[in-house]
Structure 1
Amino acid sequence: MMNENRIDDKTTDLIYGRNSVIEALKSDQSIDKVYIGTADSKGSIGKIIGMAKDRGIPVKDVTGQKLDAMCGSTNHQGVAATISAVEYSSIEDIYQKAEEKGEPLFVIIADEIEDPHNLGALIRTAECSGAHGVIIPKRRSAGLSPTVFKASAGAANYTPIVRVPNLVAAIDELKERGVWIYCADMDGQNWCKVDYSGAVGLVIGSEGNGVGRLIKEKCDFTVSLPMLGQINSLNASVAGGIIMYEIARQRMKL
């Protein structure tokens, strides 16, 4: 008899098997993403897809081999789900934190950072540098899995993480509320010669693709770090950390 709830050391953030995933979707369990590794979208798989969409949970198609590797088993019945380590927050939660501290808003916007270790490190630095929250997209991004939580060294407990269906729309909302949006990318102003006073939204893109074109077009400023070696980009969490602490330095008037 298959043990659908088996979770080994490689899959501490996964549940798999059709009944297990259905029950998780029925409950208040915070599910980050559902993975479908079968072409059969009828029956219970179709039910799972419908339930996930009703809850606004992203559904991703993967190969059966990919699902085997993720689960460390072939007994997944074509479906798995990742569990969120903590609950997501709202943009209002970020504003509330800023108001409680009596500070202008300081928010990090992570554009398609898919590596969970990078996202966790970014959340950790955001918390340490005084950012009031982090915004991530629902799709093409790591979510709040236990891997991300561990990489954040627990910072995800203290930093509101907001997951939105559309980053462009979220940026528009921030701008309407008086937030200046800064983009970390190439061919911008020197990062330490920019005025970050006032409400700040800092966009950090992935190492592979950088900040997306539509996102970059929404930004008020582009800031860059000098690349003095042979490599032309930094790890996303490292680049973000440098700029976050420049923002913190200016806010502390050092």
Structure 2
Amino acid sequence: MEKIMKSDSNNVDFVFGRHAGLDFLRTQDASLINKIFLQNGVQASIADQVYQLAKKKKIIVQSVPKSKLDKLVDQQNHQGLVLAITPFEYTDLNDLLKSIEEKADPFLLMLDSIEDPHNLGSILRTADATGVDGIIIPQRRASGLTSVVAKTSTGAIDYVPVVRVNNLVQTVDTLKDKGYWFFGTAMSGDNYTNWDARGKCVLVIGNEGKGISPLLLKQMDQTLTIPMTGHVQSLNAGVATGILLYQMFNSRQAVKNGQIKQ
């Protein structure tokens, strides 16, 4: 146990929360999970699921007091379940592009320095729901894949590939050479409801406070804005991304009476 605690910054990360933890147990290879920490007296139905999955994958389950779990996840809401896992892995950009090269209308999401892990987790969740093929984030000055992101995504982190790159502007050039069109958020942009997101597209979402950086903004083929009539003229990054992703989704699908027609 002490070995895991001391090596957390380099060799171990945590997935916590009942939904995220159980989903990780069901879907991920046992080699990725070092140990399962279960709170003493946790709800019987949750404990039964954990022990069944752990037995199937031959993973150690350790019963611990709530205070131990609180310490492991820095007082986050763990709901009595914490998994010690190997660090989250990122997808290589070339591998991602190769995996979707046969698609007629691949859709990628680029996040310019999203700093709040809760926003990143929320965005991952919506990206999974709307069929985003992958997310691109910068290596510096941005949230990476963490246990907080995993919990907030409620399992979506296991399904949406995330690429981390050194330079977003250079990545834009690479993708434009492959035929992708870029759409970014800006206060002076076109009304998002008119956005036709069919084809090879990348939606760029800016930093929570500063928006898209000037050099990156110059690379956009079109900018989009979400009209607002209230006193506060800005939206949470996760909320804004959700609105735009569903505009993308609707422009690619025929939706009538609640039924999606391909």
Structure 2 partner of 1:6: 5
1:87 paired to 2:86: no
Structure 1 partner of 2:161: 160
Structure 2 partner of 1:223: 224
**2: CA distance between counterparts of 1:251 and 1:165?**
31
Contact 2:187–2:225 (8 Å) recurs in 1: yes
Contact 1:132–1:159 (8 Å) recurs in 2: yes
Structure 1 partner of 2:100: 98
* Residue identity matched to 2:5: R
TM-score normalized by the length of structure 1 = 0.67
Q: Over residues 128-160 of structure 1, what are the superposed CA-to-partner deviations in whole Å (9 max), with x where a residue is unaligned?
A: 111100000000100011111111111111111
**2: CA distance between counterparts of 1:149 and 1:172?**
30
C-alpha deviation, 1:85, in angstroms: 4.5
**2: CA distance between counterparts of 1:128 and 1:103?**
19
**2: CA distance between counterparts of 1:218 and 1:237?**
22
**1: CA distance between counterparts of 2:160 and 2:95?**
10
Q: Which runs of 5+ in 1 are unaligned?
A: 8-13, 30-70, 73-82
Structure 1 partner of 2:129: 128
Structure 2 partner of 1:192: 193
**1: CA distance between counterparts of 2:4 and 2:121?**
26
Equivalent residue of 1:182, what SS?
strand
Structure 2 partner of 1:15: 8
Equivalent residue of 2:254, what SS?
coil
Q: Over residues 3-45 of structure 1, what are the superposed CA-to-partner deviations in whole Å (9 max), with x where a residue is unaligned?
A: 67537xxxxxx836xxxx5x88xxxx9xxxxxxxxxxxxxxxx
Contact 1:97–1:132 (8 Å) recurs in 2: no
C-alpha deviation, 1:93, in angstroms: 3.5
Equivalent residue of 2:163, what SS?
strand
How large is the Cα RMSD of the aligned pairs?
A: 2.6
Structure 2 partner of 1:142: 143
Structure 2 partner of 1:107: 108
**2: CA distance between counterparts of 1:153 and 1:95?**
25
Q: What is the percentage of aligned positions where both structures have the same residue?
A: 40
Contact 1:85–1:149 (8 Å) recurs in 2: no
Contact 2:115–2:208 (8 Å) recurs in 1: no
**1: CA distance between counterparts of 2:167 and 2:92?**
14
**2: CA distance between counterparts of 1:15 and 1:115?**
20
C-alpha deviation, 1:250, in angstroms: 1.0
**2: CA distance between counterparts of 1:225 and 1:84?**
39
Contact 1:84–1:143 (8 Å) recurs in 2: no
Contact 2:119–2:237 (8 Å) recurs in 1: yes
- Structure 1 pair 124/150, CA: closer, same or farther in 2 (3 Å)? same
**1: CA distance between counterparts of 2:176 and 2:186?**
19
- Structure 1 pair 93/150, CA: closer, same or farther in 2 (3 Å)? farther
- Structure 1 pair 152/85, CA: closer, same or farther in 2 (3 Å)? farther
Q: Which runs of 5+ in 2 are unaligned?
A: 13-31, 33-72, 75-84, 256-262
**2: CA distance between counterparts of 1:84 and 1:132?**
24
Q: Over residues 54-83 of structure 1, what are the superposed CA-to-partner deviations in whole Å (9 max), with x where a residue is unaligned?
A: xxxxxxxxxxxxxxxxx97xxxxxxxxxx9
Structure 2 partner of 1:204: 205
**2: CA distance between counterparts of 1:240 and 1:232?**
15
